[in-house]
Structure 1
Amino acid sequence: MTISASRGRLVDQLPRVMAADPVLRDFVTAFEQVHDTVRERIDAIEFQMDTGLASPEMLAYLGSWLGVMLEPTDPADYRRSLVREVGKLLGWRGTRYGVEALLQAATGARVTVIDAGGVYGSGDQVPPPDPVVVVQMDHTGHLTEKQVMAFLQSEVPLGARIQLDVRFQAQPARGRARPPGSGGESA
């Protein structure tokens, strides 16, 4: 079976004797079609690496490179934002600033990390070791405290104890919501 395609740029570059051979011409045409397909994919890679344009599958793949497991049930904008922020903060992972920024991106809450770590010079007074890392958050967003603790355990130094302080706990809904004017309220 021969490939019936119009002559392409590679076939046009063949010497006349070779271009006259139908088998060689079809082989070069097939090679050119494979080349064009690969080239199209390579040309589109910049759009797949952009978190604002990447397909959901590619976004999950990019997240896996960065150690982020995305939930398909989360909103697309949230997943894109999270991968973008993790990428920006890659060099800060494990630091106070990195933990604060990553938790803020994941939860949308204000986060403060208090620890005894720091950089000290040869003449500086080094405080006594304190293995407790205090993490204060306004709320945990759509994450559970267990998920936040799992994240923190993967980010803080080995042997550190984590004290999580969530200021506002999610409250279960009580009663039934009624739109205004639907009855049940006094005028």
Structure 2
Amino acid sequence: MTDPAIVTHRPSAPASVAGHSARQHDWLVGQLPAGMLADDFFVRFVRIFQAEAHTLLSHADTLPHLADPRLAPIEMVRYLSGWLAAPEVDDAYGPHAQRQMLLTVAKTLPWRGTRKALVTLLELYSGAPVTISESGGVFDQGRAPDGARWVRLEVTSTGPLAEEDFVELVRDEVPAHVGVEIVVAGRQIWPGDGSAPAAGRQER
């Protein structure tokens, strides 16, 4: 006849969690021979090592998810942002926003330096529409306009970012040879002399 105490310690069938087999609570104890399971002191002694091993195995179980911005710990999300040379995330942004920023930077990386990427990124950081005027375009050979290249950005707010941080964000994303003007709520914040924009510029 089977000892009821032995049956109590044996693990049940593993449950499925997110498509993976879940490790049972007494996964290590359950591997002991029946004679050892009958010794309560020995079982409790083995559970000490089981608890320690469980921590290490849990890290291994979650390893495939550490590179997923939707599931990774927020500290890992910030670390992954560094891989993409993304702007440093301000603490004023919540965890959901930080995850969204990483996903957006990854999506726009092939377009970095273009109008499309700049609008997408700045609207995410500022939480407001962005209006861009620029000198760029597609021209026939020999028909490109002379003079320095420029871009003018207008937003109603910089969001949680301080204005100086917003300026740095823009300057990091705009090609180095392009002059930048930044206007927030009708006030030019870059260049910092408050000068009026050059005449004749038309929004494209």
Among candidates 121, 134, 145, match of residue 127 of structure 1? 145
CA displacement at 1:150 relative to structure 2:
0.6
Q: Which residue of 2 aligns with 1:111?
A: 130
Determine if contact 2:93/2:160 at 8 Å carries over to the other structure: no
Corresponding position: 1:161 with 2:179: yes
Identity of aligned pairs, percent? 28
Runs of 4+ that moved beyond 3 A: 4-7, 43-46, 119-122
Q: Which amino acid aligns with 1:99?
A: L
Among candidates 145, 150, 153, match of residue 168 of structure 2? 150
CA displacement at 1:168 relative to structure 2:
6.3
Determine if contact 1:139/1:168 at 8 Å carries over to the other structure: no
Q: Which amino acid aligns with 1:50?
A: D
Q: Which residue of 1 aligns with 2:97?
A: 78
User: Mind listing any 5+ residue stretches in structure 2 that lack a counterpart?
Assistant: 1-27, 33-52, 188-204
> TM-score if structure 1 supplies the norm length?
0.62
CA displacement at 1:46 relative to structure 2:
3.8
What is the DSSP-based 3-state SS (H/G/I as helix, E as strand, rest coil) of the residue aligned with 2:171? Answer: helix
User: Mind listing any 5+ residue stretches in structure 1 that lack a counterpart?
Assistant: 8-32, 170-187
CA displacement at 1:160 relative to structure 2:
2.3
Tell me the matched-pair count: 136
What is the DSSP-based 3-state SS (H/G/I as helix, E as strand, rest coil) of the residue aligned with 2:66? Answer: helix
Q: Which amino acid aligns with 2:93?
A: D
RMSD: 2.7
Determine if contact 1:99/1:113 at 8 Å carries over to the other structure: no
Q: Which amino acid aligns with 1:120?
A: F
| Structure 2: distance between partners of 1:67 and 1:119 | 29
What is the DSSP-based 3-state SS (H/G/I as helix, E as strand, rest coil) of the residue aligned with 2:177? Answer: coil
